[in-house]
Amino acid sequence: MKFVSTNNKAQAVSFKDALSNGLAEDGGLYVPQKINKLKQEYLDELDSMSFVEIGEGIAKPFIGEEIPSEVLSKIVNETLSFEIPLIGLSDNISVLELFHGPTMAFKDVGARFMARCLSYFTKDKDRDTTVLVATSGDTGSAVAHGFYGVEGIKVVILYPKGKVSEFQERQMTTLGKNITTLEVDGTFDDCQRMVKAAFKEDGITENIALTSANSINIARLIPQMFYYFIAYQQRSKEDLVFSVPSGNYGNLTAGLMAKKLGLPIKKFVASSNVNEIVPDYLKTGEFSPKDSIQTISNAMDVGNPSNFARMMYLYDGSLEQISKDVEGCSFNDADTRNIIWKVWDNYNYVMDPHGAIGYLGLIQSLESFDDMKNTQGIFLETAHPSKFREVVEPVLEEKISYPEDFEMDSGPKLSIPLKNDMEQLKEILIS
């Protein structure tokens, strides 16, 4: 398969080049040139497949022969080495838990897959590859752990000072070795802007081999399709509605790609906090990026979501077409805290602030359905609630425990202060 740019001004490239380049030459994001539906036999046999078989079947059409089948099988096996359970809360509402990986966030799936693919392609290179990434929280820790100690790869992570949780910060700033973290005096949008600018900055790409591990990289989105199929495998009803907590919209874009592959999903809900750029577009037809607003669901504090371009590309830029599959909604911090308590009180289930937004969006969407008999609503719980103890514990007035096998990252904070300044970033990258 070839990959093309959302800006339609760059040549089609292979999976290897799309992965390595990060952004297309024209500044656009790579998307599959064409998404062909999977054979019906694959969907018919899905219920009897292992997680690894599911992942291989989805990844193969996008990667082709660029990675040998036995290597791809190993990559997928290491990517999906933890459970992804679908937990029923009521007759019509279930939660897909995506936090059972090493950093307790859904981004472990994408980061582990990308790290292993990149390692395969760079194993014979005569110079290191630098992975540049901006994070509003969970991406940084997932990428740091996914690439930690990988030969031939250096990772540079930009995160906004004072705008990630203490837990998230410790997970990415205490590793050292091939991981460098930069504490930016600004917002996530500033971090993301500098990452994108680095790929076009004179003197950077000429001196270092540069790629990105943000969801702007197509290698993050391909594996994130896996768990929509895994949820479908565990379903109890035929009609599925997915509510996706959304910030940079990579997770939702992966779901839309899964639907294009033929997965029978009835509806998606783009569930946002007060950074409601995409929900506003779905209501008004106007896409108006804004400065991001800080919330307790910080991983979704994005004022100019990159993957909006991919979403619209998949639907030929048509508001009418995308609105048939996606509806948007947004909720504030008070709504989030209230529903965390209510779900714990009703179901004895603890949500993190991002999953709480997903639950709210799902409930709002399901209220519009006339017939619920055959409909199952699924919201994504994207991080373990213990990662946000400072938010959840005061709401529940209860202590939140870490998973039994979890070990907190220890050691001193190794991050480097960075002004909101492209020249300083350039100096760091080249040195």
Which class does domain 83-103+220-396 fall in? alpha beta
* b/e code 104-143 from CB counts within 10 Å (16+ = b): bbbbbbbbbbbbbbbbbbbeeeeeebbbbbbbbbbbbbbb
Tell me the backbone φ, ψ of residue 217, rounded to 5 degrees.
-85, 125
pLDDT score of 371? 72
**200 Cβ partners below 8 Å, 6+ apart?**
27
Rounded CA separation 109/216 (Å): 15
Supply the pLDDT for residue 405: 67
The model's pTM is 0.89
CA distance 129 to 42: 36
* Alpha-helix residue ranges (DSSP H) falling in 97-163: 107-122, 138-147
Nearest to 80 by CA among 110, 115, 57: 110
Question: Is residue 211 within 8 Å of 195, Cβ to Cβ?
Answer: no
C-alpha triplet 248, 92, 230: angle, nearest 5°: 55
Q: How many CA atoms lie within 13 A of 68 on its CB side?
A: 4
Encode the chain (431 residues) as per-residue pLDDT tens digits: 999 999 999 999 999 999 988 889 998 999 999 999 998 888 889 989 999 999 999 999 999 999 999 999 999 999 999 999 999 999 999 999 999 998 899 989 998 999 899 989 988 777 788 999 998 777 888 889 888 988 889 999 999 999 888 888 988 999 999 999 999 999 988 998 999 899 888 888 888 888 888 788 999 999 999 999 999 999 989 899 999 999 999 999 999 999 999 999 999 999 999 999 999 999 999 999 999 999 999 889 999 999 999 999 999 999 999 999 999 999 999 999 999 999 999 999 999 999 999 999 999 999 888 777 889 999 999 999 998 999 999 999 999 988 776 776 678 999 999 999 899 999 999 88
Identify the pLDDT of residue 410: 72
Residue 231 main-chain phi, psi, to 5 deg: -65, -40
221, two tokens? 């989105």
**Distance separating alpha carbons of residues 1 and 23, to the nearest angstrom:** 17
DSSP label at residue 208: S
| Distance of alpha carbon 214 from alpha carbon 302, whole angstroms | 13
Q: Which pLDDT score, from 0 to 100, does residue 409 have?
A: 66
